[in-house]
Structure 1
């Protein structure tokens, strides 16, 4: 089940600290979107598990993520209306986590969102029960995957990887999943992490 932005947050629910927000982060090329899609397929049909459909100011068919595409003006209007629990900007795009996720958390459910390491402080403020799942891979593996996309030169890719960190900084509850090996191994790892959160 996905959480949509146009749903209004319910009133008079229990505290939104009842459930757990799992935010999945990681560098480009780590396979974050692929693993989230596989986990969503595995957990499909569970009423207590919800994958967030983010609101993004990019075309609906861009990327490997099922998101709701809006214009900059519409995004700003939604933000002014309080439609987001968390929002941020990166690489010229705007991203929003619908405020309706609080409904599911108030029911004690597990909510999984695609996030960013740069705004984990915002997620922690919005969601006291936060689990960070950091998808990583060895730098040489990341370089091969990024170069295979054909968007950057080898030199640009290597410079970007040198500048970036593969770890999560801060006092967060973090699970690190190394996706350098087979996709099946990483899939089992993320599903195990999510099932452990469901069992809490």
Structure 2
């Protein structure tokens, strides 16, 4: 499929957010395979202050000093810190949206105001799962006990404040079901373009 953006179409930024263990990376990878080869759909490769070989999402790993230099040089459309790491969305994503493309980035609920400031045509996909499912997935990572995980999850809000266009996907069940919901949500963004 080699679909280029139609001339005059407004692009859109989609920020995919949700708690650890919700399966954001898995759903984004599923959608990336579905839209593979389409020029009008771009999945963002984030810059993170984490070793690129550390596992998880495919990203550009940089040191704290390199991240600071990139940020000062204006190389990020959006940047934020969370869980002891720094995250950046490359500035080129603005051009992709301006060119009429659908751009999908792994975001953060804490940075949504920054995404909205950089990308007025913002859609938020909020990936959730039941507390039991989140706890089981996080427990499998082996970093915290089940009790610590449940206490942390019960303290955090899984909702998005008003004022954003939000699509919520429950990823408590099968990847096929949640993956279809992700593809449908992104397809809806494509068809909603003028």
TM-score interval (norm. to shorter): over 0.9
Which residue, out of 28, 31, 34, partners 1:42? 34
C-alpha displacement of 1:72: 0.8
Tell me the TM-score normalized by structure 2. 0.93
Structure 2: gaps (5+ residues): 1-6
Q: How many residues align?
A: 186
**1:18 Cα offset (Å):** 2.5
Distance 2:55 2:126 in 1: 19
The answer to whether the aligner puts 1:99 opposite 2:99 as a matched pair is no
2:4 corresponds to 1:27: no
Deviations 1:48-94 (A, max 9, x none): 00000000000102232110011111111111110000000111111
Q: Please say if 1:82 is aligned against 2:74.
A: yes
For residue 171 of structure 2, the aligned residue among 174, 179, 183 is: 179
| Residues 34 and 64 in structure 1, CA contact (< 8 A), matched pair in contact too | no
Distance 1:86 1:151 in 2: 28
Query: CA separation in 2, counterparts of 1:22 and 1:66?
Result: 18
What displacement does 1:143 show?
1.1
Please, which of 57, 64, 70 is the counterpart of residue 65 of structure 1? 57
Answer yes or no: is 1:145 the counterpart of 2:137. yes
**2:121 is the alignment partner of 1:129:** yes
Alignment-derived partner of residue 182 in structure 2: 190
* 1:175 CA displacement: 0.2
Q: 1: CA distance between counterparts of 2:57 and 2:63?
A: 17
Relative to the length of structure 1, the TM-score reads 0.90
